[in-house]
Amino acid sequence: MKSNLQQQEFSPTHDFARQLDKNDPLRSYRQRFFFPKHNGKNVLYFCGNSLGLQPHGVEKALRRELKHWREHAVEGHFRGDMPWMHYHKFLLPQSARLVGGLETEVVVMNTLTTNLHLLMASFYRPTKERFKIVMEAGAFPSDQYAMETQARWHGFDPAGAIVEVAPRPGEETLRTEDILATIERHGPSVAVVMFGGVNYYTGQYFDLPAITKAAHRVGAYAGFDLAHTAGNLPLHLHDWGVDFACWCSYKYLNSGPGGPSGIFVHEKHGNDPTLPRLGGWWGHDEGSRFQMKKGFIPIPGAAGWQLSNAQIFSLAAHKVSLDLFDEVGMDTLREKSLQLTAYLEFLIEHTNNQQPTTNNQQSPRLNIITPKNPEERGCQLSILTGSEGRKLFDYLTENGVVADWREPNVVRVAPVPLYNSYRDCWRLAELLGRFGG
């Protein structure tokens, strides 16, 4: 069997799913994660877009730091091969490769929404003429609240300062041309274009290079919230000229609840010490940090946005997962992801087609609202269900599927290439096919 099959070459049989698994070069990675149990068996986990599974190595990494603390206390900052004093540096190479940045352009610190505000403090400095934030309508709520309160914080009415790009009537996702036209139309009044990389609800992956270019054409900054993108799609933030970005580590990046956030600041800004920011001692020049003198001197690069000393336990868990991603590589992951998601899409559509003949009752039509074009999505598929949507979701849950439900009637499923198998997809589709039948 070829390694990369097209939609039309898929077959709905269980044997075919087994063959796909057999030929999957990443199949062994599944064994490196803990799956919750349902009736004594592994659940069918499709919620990696919300909280990734625990990698096996995390417990050991946490124990290691507990031991270090127990045995060295304050000296732990300086001792061992990963002294806490420098801990954030041990995550830089993997983070840089993950998002396509230089090591000096990334750092892991705080949590996502906190970082979004810190970055906006530098990149959203509105004036009377240039004060607008262009964002996607239906952005993740935290991003909406962050942008709304940023506008107010600077004395602007969000109604005028925030420009949302919405889908056209009757459509579920955004058209790139509409995003670019909106940026163009508001022109010199735009301060920042702030988009999600992948929209959490529809799973749409936006054209980040095109949006960045359009923002720059009107003299605005381009920033992205990559919560649903990091670990899901290969990124080239440096080459694309993205100004800033942030992401969380607990979704696709499997680093545990409330896990730390990564940030990216392009070197053209990171190396500019005059760029205003909110500072703290951990972002201060290392050579003079402990002199406790007046005058903030930022470390060049993204590290200069750090405030506090590193959250060692969170970073230790995150490092285990980052190392896994680094071992596999985003391009290899994406290759499997493209096929895995296409396969699930094929199976869902096949289920739809089977319904009229296998089921005389009104059955829910499973309408995938995630873009069909693989270039415009990561692994997640968002399924708009009919009036029986909630019943369908509960039925899946009772049958050991972990997916998630978004009001009013969307079921989101994310086949994650690192730990989901083709047979997981097959079993999910089989359950969908049996619902109400």
Span near ligand PLP by CB under 6 A; candidates 160-168, 225-233, 324-332, 342-350: 225-233
Beta bridge partners of 71: none
143 binds ligand PLP (CB under 6 A): yes
227 touches ligand PLP (CB under 6 A): yes
Least distance between ligand PLP and beta carbon 406 (Å) = 12
Give me the least distance between CB of 337 and ligand PLP, in Å please: 18
Task: Kindly indicate which of the ranges 137-145, 170-178, 321-329, 397-405 contains the residues binding ligand PLP, using the contact rule CB under 6 A.
Answer: 137-145
Closest CB to ligand PLP among residues 68, 377: 377
Between 314 and 421, whose beta carbon lies closer to ligand PLP?
A: 314
Q: How far is the CB of 380 from ligand PLP (least distance, A)?
A: 11
Q: How many Cα atoms sit within 13 Å of 381 on the Cβ side? A: 26
Q: In this structure, what token pair is assigned to residue 406? A: 């978004």
Q: How far is CA 332 from CA 121, 180, 244, 255, 371, in A?
A: 36, 31, 26, 20, 22
Give me the phi and psi of 142, to 5 degrees please: -60, -35
Number of residues that bind ligand PLP (CB under 6 A): 12
Tokens 């940026």 found at? 183
Q: Which of 88, 186, 228, 266 binds ligand PLP (CB under 6 A)?
A: 228
Q: Which stretch binds ligand PLP (CB under 6 A): 56-64, 180-188, 223-231, 427-435?
A: 223-231
Determine, following the binding rule CB under 6 A, whether residue 248 of this chain makes contact with ligand PLP. Answer: yes
- Tell me: does residue 140 bind ligand PLP (CB under 6 A): yes
Nearest to 25 by CA among 429, 422, 424, 427: 422
Question: From start to end of 249-377, where are the E strands?
Answer: 261-265, 367-368
DSSP assignment letter at 82: S
| Residue list 31-50, contact with ligand PLP (CB under 6 A) | none
Nearer to ligand PLP, 351 or 380 (CB): 380
Tokens read off for 137? 């309508």
Site string for ligand PLP, 190-219 (x = CB under 6 A): ------x---x-------------------
| Segment contacting ligand PLP by CB under 6 A, of 18-26, 136-144, 290-298, 410-418 | 136-144
SS3 assignment, position 235: coil
Say whether residue 136 binds ligand PLP (CB under 6 A): no
DSSP string, 337-401: HHHHHHHHHHHHHHHHHHHHHH--S-----EE-S-SSGGGB-S-EEEE--TTHHHHHHHHHHTTE
> Among residues 246, 317, 410, 337, which one has the least CA distance to residue 52?
317
Rounded Cα–Cα distance for residues 67 and 205 (Å): 42
User: Interface residues with ligand PLP (CB under 6 A)?
Assistant: 111-113, 140, 142-143, 196, 200, 225, 227-228, 248
